[in-house]
Amino acid sequence: MVSTWELLFTVVPGVILFLFGIENFSKEILVVARGRFAAILGSLTTNRYKGLLLGAGITALIQSSAATTVIAINLVNAGTISFVQSLGIIIGSNIGTTITSQLVAFKLTSFGPVFILAGFLIGIIGGRYKFLGKPLFYFGLVFFGLTIISNGIEPYSSDPLVLELLGGIAFLPLAIFVGFLITTAFQSSSVTTGLVVILAQQGMITMPEAIPFLLGANIGSTTTALFASRGLDLFARRAAAAHTIFNVGGVLLILPFLTPFVSFIAGIGGTEAQQVANAHLVFNIVASGVFILALHPFASLVMRVVPGEEEEILFRTVAIKDPLPERVDEVLSIIEEEVKHLYDVTNQAFDAAMAVFTAEKAARAYQKAGKLELLNDFLDEEVEKATFTVSKRALTEMQAKRTMLLVRISNDLERLGDLSRDLAKVARNAARMGRPLPTGQVEAIRGIYRIFDGNMQELSKNFPNSTKETISSLRARDIELRRTLNLEYTLYLQRIAKINESSDSRYLEVLSIIEAANGKVRDIRKLTEEYSAHDETLPAPQ
* Position 319 in a domain: no
Do 280 and 396 lie in one domain? The reply is no
pLDDT, tens digit (0-9, with 9 covering 90-100), for 498-511: 665 555 578 888 99
pLDDT above 50 (res 541): no
How far is Cα 341 from Cα 480, in angstroms, rounded to an integer? 27
Q: Higher confidence at residue 25 or residue 231?
A: 231
Torsion of CA 10, 16, 20, 22, to 10 degrees: 80
Q: Is residue 9 part of a domain?
A: yes
Higher pLDDT, 408 or 185: 408
CATH code, 399: 1.20.58.220
CA 524 – CA 541 distance, rounded (Å): 11
- Asked if 273 and 202 sit in the same domain, the reply is yes
* Sequence letter at residue 91: I
Give the burial class of 146: count Cβ atoms within 10 A of its Cβ; 0-12 exposed, 13-18 middle, 19 or more buried.
buried
**Please, which pLDDT band fits residue 496 given cuts at 50, 70 and 90?**
confident
For residues 453 and 387, state if they share a domain.
Answer: yes
Query: Is the same domain home to 342 and 484?
Result: yes
Average pLDDT over residues 485-507: 74
d(CA 419, CA 514): 8
In which band, very low, low, confident or very high, does the pLDDT at 162 lie, cut at 50, 70 and 90?
low
The last residue of a domain, from among 305, 338, 362: 305
C-alpha dist (Å) from residue 332 to 168, 376, 406: 73, 19, 9
User: What pLDDT was estimated at residue 27?
Assistant: 66
Say yes or no to pLDDT of 482 above 60. Answer: yes
Confidence of residue 168 (pLDDT cuts 50, 70, 90): low
Q: pTM of the entire structure?
A: 0.78
Q: Domain end: 305, 337, 352, which one?
A: 305
Stretch 267-290: mean pLDDT: 93
Question: What is the model's pLDDT at position 442?
Answer: 86
Read off the pLDDT band of 5 (50, 70, 90).
low
3-state per-residue secondary structure call for 210-277: HHHHHHHHHHHCHHHHHHHCCCCCHHHHHHHHHHHHHHHHHHHHHHHHHHHHHHHHHHHCCCHHHHHH
Please report which confidence band the pLDDT of residue 32 belongs to, taking 50, 70 and 90 as the band edges: low
Q: Are residues 262 and 379 in the same domain?
A: no
pLDDT, tens only, 364-405: 788 889 899 999 999 999 999 999 999 888 888 898 999 999
Residues 214 and 282 in one domain: yes
Q: Check whether 161 has a pLDDT greater than 70.
A: no
Q: What are residue 83's phi and psi, to 5 degrees?
A: -55, -45
Last residue of a domain, one of 305, 339, 365: 305
In the predicted structure, residue 28 carries a pLDDT above the cut 50: yes
Q: Is 323 part of a structural domain of the chain?
A: no
pLDDT above 60: residue 539? no
Backbone angles phi, psi at 229, to 5 degrees: -85, -10
Q: Assess if residue 313 is contained within a domain.
A: no
Report pLDDT digits (tens) over 203-246: 888 899 889 989 999 998 888 888 878 878 899 999 999 999 99
| pLDDT at 410 > cutoff 90 | yes
Report the pLDDT value the prediction gives residue 423, as an integer from 0 to 100: 93
In this prediction, residue 535 carries a pLDDT of 37
Can you tell me the mean pLDDT for 422-434?
A: 85
Burial label for 102, CB within 10 Å (0-12, 13-18, 19+), is: middle
- The verdict on 404 and 262 lying in the same domain is no
Mean pLDDT score across all residues of the chain: 83
Q: Which pLDDT score, from 0 to 100, does residue 36 have? A: 54
Q: Are residues 526 and 380 in the same domain?
A: yes
Give yes or no for a contact between 62 and 25, defined as CB atoms under 8 angstroms apart: yes
Mean pLDDT, rounded, for 37-50: 69
Domain annotation covers residue 208: yes
Residues 20 and 80 reside in one and the same domain: yes
Distance between CA 105 and CA 269 in Å, rounded? 13
- pLDDT at residue number 414: 95
**Does residue 36 lie within any of the structural domains?**
yes
> Taking Cα atoms as reference points, which of 533, 542, 375, 386 lies closest to residue 475?
542
- More confident call, 27 vs 67: 67
User: Can you give the pLDDT at residue 529?
Assistant: 87
CA distances from 238 to 25, 51, 243, 307, 372 (A): 28, 17, 9, 9, 20
Q: What is the mean pLDDT of residues 165-171?
A: 64
- 292 and 332 inside one domain: no
Question: Is the domain of 32 the same as that of 119?
Answer: yes
Task: Write out the residue range of the structural domain in which residue 430 sits.
Answer: 328-531
Q: For the chain, give the percent of residues with pLDDT over 90.
A: 31
> Quick one: 367 and 294 in the same domain?
no
Q: Is residue 62 part of a domain?
A: yes
Distance CA 292, CA 306 (A): 20
Averaged pLDDT, 331-342: 93
Q: Does 278 fall in a domain?
A: yes
Counting the structural domains of the chain, the total is 2
Cα torsion 224, 229, 230, 231: sign: positive
